[in-house]
Each structure stands twice: as C-alpha cells, then as structure tokens.
C-alpha cells in the first residue's frame, strides 16, 4: 500500500481514497502504456475488501485490461485522467469497495477467468485540483465500479475499474 495515500471519510461516512497528486497529467492523450507499466508492480498482490472480507488477487492480466479495455478506449477528458491516476491508489480503492453485486458470466471467452461470474463493487477516490500548476486544497471526488472476475477455481481477480463518474456535489476541501 502506498504510504502517501490516505483513506478519509466524507460527511455521510463513506470512505474515499485520497490520491496525493496527479502522476498522469494529460487529459487528452493519456499514455496508457505508462499506466500499464505502473500497474505491473501490483501483480501478485492480494487485497482483502474491508466490508466483505473477500480476498482479491491482482493477476498478470490486470494491467493490460486496465489499459486496453473497451471502456478505457472510450474514455475522454477528465474521466480518462481520473482512471489513469486511480492506478496509484488501486490497492486502497479495492480495499474500501462496497455494495457487492453479482452477475453471471455470459461470454464464452471468459469461461475460465470468470467461470463463476462477476462481482461489481462501488468505490470512491478523490484527486487534487491544480491551478496554474500548483496543487490547491480542493479535491474532486469520483465514484467508480470495480469489476472482479470469479474464476471457475473459486478465486477472485481484479479485472478493471469502470463507470467512473465525477460526483456533482461540492468537492472536498482541505482534507489534508
């Protein structure tokens, strides 16, 4: 786990992973190969989701899927930047996941890696707002869905981060 990251609570008691900075700065042309390379350091890690005690593995396929999924290819602007930068807190983002939901696997291509289906979890993270290259004390909050495959062998693997949405309410301020 990244010691510079923090988990904070909002006014409603929801956990939010606070990203310490922006490491992938460009909104229009994210270097997804750099994001994939960054995520490779997590391969082999194991995270226990606090709410459910589910054990989730970070498998060898995760960095490539995160970079090259259909969802990622359609991302633009601030949501693309949010997904790229969420990589730095992926372990904590997984740890605070809530609202576990199940869906049966419907695609033959996932008969092994998601032979027992898919789990979806809601999660949240905050990114600092910069003004004239300087970090402010304001953070934009994002909600997202973690996609976990449940293998036919009974293990759960992190697959992707999807459905990223900037929350419309007032951003966090001075949480440091």
Q: What are φ and ψ of residue 116, in 5° steps?
A: -100, 5
Give the separation between CA 67 and CA 176, rounded to whole angstroms: 30
> 142-160 burial by CB neighbour count: b if 16+ within 10 A, else e?
bebbbbbbbbeeeebbbbb
pTM of the predicted structure, to 2 decimals:
0.89
> 23-51 burial by CB neighbour count: b if 16+ within 10 A, else e?
ebeeeeebebeebbebbeebeebebebee
Please tell me the predicted confidence (pLDDT) of residue 174: 47
Please tell me the predicted confidence (pLDDT) of residue 175: 45
Please tell me the predicted confidence (pLDDT) of residue 25: 85
Q: What is the pLDDT of residues 29-38, one digit of tens each?
A: 899 999 999 9
How does residue 172 score in pLDDT terms, banded at 50, 70 and 90? low
Domain boundaries, the chain: 6-173
Please tell me the predicted confidence (pLDDT) of residue 176: 39
Q: What is the pLDDT of residues 64-119, one digit of tens each?
A: 999 999 999 999 999 999 999 999 999 999 999 999 999 987 777 777 778 889 99
């Amino acid at each position: 786990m990244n010691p510079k990251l923090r988990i904070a609570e909002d006014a409603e008691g929801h956990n939010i992973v606070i990203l310490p900075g922006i490491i992938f700065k460009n909104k229009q042309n994210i270097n997804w190969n750099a994001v994939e390379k960054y995520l490779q350091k997590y391969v082999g890690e194991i995270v226990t989701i606090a709410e459910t005690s589910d054990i989730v593995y970070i498998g060898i396929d995760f960095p490539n899927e995160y970079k090259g999924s259909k969802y990622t290819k359609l991302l633009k602007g601030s949501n693309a930047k949010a997904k790229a930068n969420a990589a730095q807190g992926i372990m904590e983002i997984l740890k605070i996941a809530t609202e576990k939901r199940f869906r049966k696997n419907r695609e033959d291509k996932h008969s092994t890696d998601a032979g027992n289906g898919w789990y979806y979890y809601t999660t949240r993270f905050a990114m600092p707002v910069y003004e004239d290259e300087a970090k402010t004390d304001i953070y934009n909050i994002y909600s997202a869905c973690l996609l976990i495959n449940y293998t036919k062998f009974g293990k759960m693997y992190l697959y992707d981060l999807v459905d990223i949405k900037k929350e419309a309410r007032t951003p966090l301020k001075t949480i440091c």
